[in-house]
Structure 1
Amino acid sequence: MWIELTAADGHKLAAWKDGPADAKKALVVVQEIFGVNHHMRNVCDRFVKAGYAVVAPALFDRTERGVELGYKPEDVARGRELRSKVPEAGTIADIEAAAGALPAGAKKGIVGYCWGGTVAWWGATRTKSFAAANGWYGGGVAGTRTETPNCPVELHFGTLDASIPMSDVEAIKAAQPGVAVFVYEGGQHGFGCDERGSYNRELAEIAWGRTLDFFGRHLG
């Protein structure tokens, strides 16, 4: 269901919330550049079925409310435009507000995709709200790779990602030897999204299994 959150700076934003109120493990699920759309809500549902409570904050609410985009070229352009207007500090405040809306007794993690993969990394390095962080094809991780994570981190990248060159992935590995970085041969950007042309079922399921195993180890 949709709920309203209030960030530390007073900004009010929508968020998708699901899962048991008494869950012992919980996740902030961070959107791609397409909003908390049908795909992201499906991702939330998969985590709920795996036993997690989830909250997915609508990060675009800082610039435009109610955004749900598809995956056509014009949607990509619109998503990039909106993302460019969202301040990083506001994004951090919003994921912390989302963490605060998770069950109080739960051990909390953060997982994100595309833009959200970068935000999940920031959740690890710029907050102390999470016990584990997992990012899928986060294009901004390389640019902030020297930041120090405050919790275990796992990252996923595809070798054929046109927006994240393998040189960036190697730079992340060199800067963060303690971070688990998985590289998927033949994976394009968005290989985990079954609503995109770049979807790769085999690779997506491998990454999904690793993600669940990672959170199982760190969140219980």
Structure 2
Amino acid sequence: GKAEGASISAQIGKEQAISDIQATVDAVKDAGKVAIVGYCWGSDLAYAAANKVNGIACVIGYDGSQAVADYREKRKVPTLLHFCENDPELSMEA
């Protein structure tokens, strides 16, 4: 569940995940435009990738709490974020 996922994401780390995303984009970019879609931590990574990964056309994220903490920096590619109205971990005020 959630605790296991948090443990795995902590082991991988954000910088390694962004590096892996860049490698993936580089591997497939010749096929056409690349978009990144992420959920939860994946949403946070997609949001960060909008400024850190080269070769992406856009990013879409669902329920990424880190995006809320990092929203002041303008994204370099079109970015669409979705949040739950009644998320127990992320208030509407945030």
Give the TM-score normalised by structure 1.
Answer: 0.40
Q: Which residue pairs with 2:47 in the alignment?
A: 121
> Which has the larger Rg?
1
Q: 1 or 2, which has the higher helix percentage?
A: 2
Pick from 51, 57, 60 the counterpart of residue 134 of structure 1.
Answer: 60
Q: CA deviation at 1:148?
A: 2.5
Structure-2 separation of matches of 1:85 and 1:103: 28
User: Does structure 1 retain, via aligned residues, the 8 Å contact 2:44–2:67?
Assistant: yes
Does residue 1:87 correspond to 2:13, yes or no?
yes
Structure 1 gaps of 5+ residues are 1-74, 169-220
Give the TM-score normalised by structure 2.
Answer: 0.89
Q: CA deviation at 1:87?
A: 2.1
Structure-1 separation of matches of 2:10 and 2:89: 16
Q: 1 or 2, which has the higher strand percentage?
A: 1
AA aligned to 1:134 is I
Structure 2 residue matching 1:145: 3-state secondary structure: coil
Q: CA RMSD in A?
A: 1.4
Dislocated runs of 4+, deviation >4 Å: none
Q: Which residue pairs with 2:81 in the alignment?
A: 155
Structure 2 gaps of 5+ residues are none
What is the identity percentage for the equivalent residue pairs of Structure 1 and Structure 2? 29
Structure-2 separation of matches of 1:100 and 1:149: 20
Where relative contact order (Cα < 8 A, 6+ residues apart) is larger, the structure is: 2
